[in-house]
Structure 1
Amino acid sequence: MLTHARRANLVAGFAIALLLPLMGCGSGDGKVSILLTDAPGDGVETAVVTISQIYLQGGDEEGGRVVLRDEPVTVSLLDLANSTSELVSEAVVPDGDYSQLRFVITGGYLETKNADGSTSIFATSNNYAGLPEGAVVAGQLHMPSYGSSGLKVKFDEKLTIEGEQKILLVDFDVAQSFGKEAGNSGRWVMSPVIKAAEVTASASITVEVKLGAGVVLPTVEGTAVTLADFHAVLINDAGSRETLPLTDENADGTFEATFKFLIPGTFQVDVESPASVSISTTPGDPVTVQLASGRDSTQAFVVSGAQPQ
């Protein structure tokens, strides 16, 4: 039996942005493009899937299927952190109502980190074409029915295409969607947890961190610690944790990191210092951020104290 509890050694997420451009393509038709993105995570070394077909399902389950892509593509999800990859470009779609977007996934593998620092590979088959050369498969990655009926992405409301622009963001939370089967089977199971929102209503959270007046970061073992050694942390309402390094691109003393392609909701924002340093911040972290539709958010922290651990 698959456990759906959050797993600390498997934190990643990927989102699928569905774009319907502003310009129609004539009477009775619209156009669809699909972008794929992913978020960074801990504990997963590699996550790869092969998507063989993408289609829209009409309101009637017995018909109304519109294929957007039928050329297989193999995607390394963790290479897409905070970026996008185009899967479908302006596919022509008849005007009408659609109840689901489906991804036919015919293979994949997951490489996870073990407690001793080694890694193990779980694949849909020992001869999955997406495996790296010489890979040793430790166990099975099970994807029930996704190679036939497809992974179903349901819309909160029917998707109505009438030639106008409609943009959707579909968030596939890998942290909540893969788990090790109970018992000693050695099998991992894919059971996706998915949310959807309009991409015009998606947003980003920027974390800003600077030193307070008179605060100096310590020197540890002869090396001066800087804010470039810190990370911004984002935790979604499902408990998935993402981290990004802080950078000061304009050299103004304020270090920043931006989490992109977020579905509106409640997030916890935190600042993570190196293990060798203990800090206090104003405001104290973590901070709860309610991300509203279509509104980017910035959360600023001031380091008010720092000392070596």
Structure 2
Amino acid sequence: MSSLRQLTSSLLMATGLLFLAACGGGDNARVTLKLTDAPGDTFEKAVVTISKVYLKGDVDGEEGKGDVVLLSEPVTTDLLTLANDAADLVKDAEVPPGRYKELRFVITGGYIQVKQDGGSRIFATSPSYEGLPEGAQVDGDLQMPSAASSGLKVKFDKDADVTITSDDDQKVILVDFDVAQSFGKEAGNSGKWVMRPVIKGADLQFSGNVEVTLQLQDGLGFPVPGTAQLSGFSAVLVNADGSRETLPFTATTSAVFVADFKYLLPGTYQVDVVAPEGVSFTTDLARPAAATVGSGAEAHVDFTLTSIGF
């Protein structure tokens, strides 16, 4: 079974042959599908097997015949490795011009690993699920209602259709799988988990990012030299659903540190700063600060430390 990072020539060959056979290749556009994970820090692993991905809509001149398969080779990936990143799930697939309303993901298995009862527990769709690590002990069930039959619907940003024309040299679609919002414990004491996916899609040209900077106020230094530096601080991004992502600050100059949250769908996010353990601080901005990401735009939140204590 392929991993996401092994989808290279074999996947390109499979998708290329599929569309050349089905559509002739003449006026088709090329579509790349990128998979990312929305902010989240609750789970240790969230592994799924994606067995099929297809677009639904209307191919030009063939209304109602818009099902176009983008992926038919099973791919297994840990969604948590995709936070603040985007990996190619499908690359350069040929798609006939038309208007497409949604993507469908057929997921045929998976498991999550969570911290629970002072330890680490695994919940899987089956004790024999092929994506499980060798020798893994399955502690409970993970249910995925209808995921393996009709597939999971991925609506595009603001319910807008994606139009693909023969003039498109490349169309890139970003699929944002919100792990933190997609898995939850079943009510009661059954010990089961259920996947009710929160997945959103958008043209990659409409995704954005939030750049967070951190610097010291002029004349301010660390009370105990060498005990903490700005590189020990982290930025926290929270989306509208409450999912969180944490990134460490890295130096760009001797005085300014940056954390860049990438591949974000348009919307409003909350941004905060976290200090190393035992360090207290204040900033010039009220925390958390709001950041609004527009289509294809970069939002900036600039924090200046105004006091530091231990």
What is the TM-score when the length of structure 1 is the normalising length? Answer: 0.84
Distance 1:123 1:267 in 2: 32
Give the SS at the match of 1:129. coil
Are 2:223 and 1:224 equivalent residues in the alignment? Answer: no
Q: CA deviation at 1:295?
A: 1.3
8 Å contact kept, 1:102–1:150: yes
- Map of 1:102-117 to 2, 5 A cutoff? 102-116=104-118
Structure 1 residue 74 corresponds to structure 2 residue 76: yes
- In structure 2, the partner of 1:18 is none
Paired position in structure 1 for 2:165: 162
Q: CA separation in 2, counterparts of 1:111 and 1:129? A: 15
TM-fit CA distance, 1:174: 1.5
Distance 2:115 2:147 in 1: 25
2:42 is matched with 43
Instruction: Give the equivalent residue in structure 2 for 1:197.
Output: 202
Cα pair 1:229 1:273 within 8 Å, conserved = yes
Give me the whole-angstrom Cα distance separating, in 2, the residues matched to 1:141 and 1:86: 26
Q: CA deviation at 1:179?
A: 0.5
Structure 2 residue matching 1:71: 3-state secondary structure? coil
**Partner of residue 247 from structure 2, selected from 238, 244, 249:** 244
AA aligned to 1:260 is K
With over 3 angstroms needed to count, the CA separation of the structure-2 counterparts of 1:61 and 1:231, relative to structure 1, is farther
- The one-letter code matched in structure 2 to 1:114 is Q
For 1:301, the equivalent position in structure 2 comes to: 303
For 1:202 and 1:64, locate their aligned partners in 2 and report how far apart those are by CA, in whole Å.
25
**What SS does the aligned partner of 1:83 have?**
coil
CA 1:100 to 1:41, structure 2 compared with 1: closer, same or farther past 3 Å?
closer
Aligned-residue Cα RMSD (Å) equals 2.1
Write out per-residue CA displacement over residues 31-73 of structure 1, whole angstroms, 9 at most, x where no aligned residue.
Answer: 2111222255323111111011111123499743211111111
Distance 2:87 2:257 in 1: 27
Q: Distance in 1 between matches of 2:226 and 2:112?
A: 37
Find the aligned partners of 1:281 and 1:214 in 2 and give their Cα distance: 14
> CA 1:41/1:61 → structure 2, altered by over 3 Å: closer, same or farther?
farther
Opposite residue 153 of structure 2, the aligned amino acid is K
Do the aligned partners of 1:40 and 1:78 also contact (CA within 8 Å) in 2? Answer: no
Residue deviations 1:260-280, cap 9 Å, x none? 001111111111112301100
Please state if 1:138 is matched with 2:139.
Answer: yes
Aligned to 1:19: none
1:223 shift after superposition: 6.0
Q: Which deviates further from its counterpart, 182-191 or 91-100?
A: 91-100
Q: State the SS of the aligned residue for 1:31.
A: strand
CA contact (8 A) 2:36 2:174 kept: no
C-alpha deviation, 1:88, in angstroms: 1.0
* Residues 180-224 of structure 1: per-residue CA shift (max 9 Å, x gap): 0001111111111233333212111111101112222244xx961
Q: From the superposition, tell whether residues 173 and 40 of structure 1 become closer, same or farther in structure 2 (CA, over 3 Å).
A: closer
Q: Which amino acid aligns with 2:135?
A: G
Structure number with the higher strand fraction is: 1
Q: Is the 8 A contact 1:47 1:110 kept in 2?
A: yes
**Is the partner of 1:137 in helix, strand or coil?**
coil
Q: Which residue of 2 aligns with 1:54?
A: 53
Question: What residue ranges of structure 2 are gaps of 5+ in the alignment?
Answer: 1-23
* Cα displacement (A) at 1:82: 1.8
Q: TM-score, normalised on structure 2?
A: 0.84
Q: What's 1:234 paired with?
A: 237
Distance in 2 of aligned mates of 1:103 and 1:177: 14
Q: CA deviation at 1:101?
A: 0.8
**Contact (CA 8 Å) 1:31, 1:163: kept in 2 or not?**
no
Higher helix residue share: 2
